[in-house]
Amino acid sequence: MYEKTLVIVKPDGVQRRMVGTLISRFEKVGLKIHAMRFVQATDEQSKAHYAEHVDKPFYPSLEAYITVGPALVFVLGGTGAIAKVRQLVGDTEPASALPGTIRGDYAHQPLERGSDRFLCNLVHASANTEDAEREVALWFGPDEVLDYAMIDDMYTGL
Ligand code: IDP
Ligand code: MG
């Protein structure tokens, strides 16, 4: 099924000049960009986006991390895109993320879950259908999520 999912290049990805590299990883597997915005997230946006984590002990460090500088927020689409993007992104903990995943390849920070410091892992990706719908609507208005044909769509049937 065709799905849309929300992805964020977090501030560490921007500050490490990895925006182009990371977008490229998603384009290479055939995902389509439907929306994109460069944002300095507010504390309120962090709390809304990470609602499930607001009461956890690590939340203050997560909010400090996601608001430390601008982030690139975007919507990607494709068949099974939600699970596909999560697979590409890899495990939350950089040390456990498999080689070949974005976090496994580029996020070398040795911090583990339970730390009260920043757990920098370069990208966010929606975890499931419900989160994807909620997160896309949180960051983009309906008119900002664009549907259009890719070059390969134009040759279908030839
Ligand atoms: P996910 O990003 O792989 O979906 P979640 O468990 O939803 O992982 O956590 C959201 C984000 O919060 C993580 O990507 C990471 O930046 C941060 N985080 C998660 N667990 C911890 C922790 O134990 N300490 C510090 N930060 C954490
Ligand atoms: Mg999550």
Task: Give the global pTM.
Answer: 0.95
Distance from residue 142's CA to the centre of ligand 2 (Å): 23
The ligand minimizing its distance to the Cα of 92 is: 1
Burial string for 64-93 (b: 16+ CB within 10 Å, else e) reads: ebbbbebbbbbbbbbeebbebbbebbbeeb
Between the CA of 106 and the centroid of ligand 1 the distance, in Å, is 16
CATH class of 2-156: alpha beta
| pLDDT tens digit sequence for 28-72 | 999 999 999 999 999 999 999 999 999 999 999 999 999 999 999
How does the average pLDDT of the chain come out, rounded? Answer: 94
119 in contact with ligand 1, CB cutoff 6 A: yes
The pLDDT of residue 133 is above 60 = yes
> Is 107's C-beta closer than 6 angstroms to any atom of ligand 1?
no
Distance CA 56, CA 126 (A): 19
Residue 158 clears pLDDT 60, i.e. is over it: no
| Residue ranges covered by each domain of the chain | 2-156
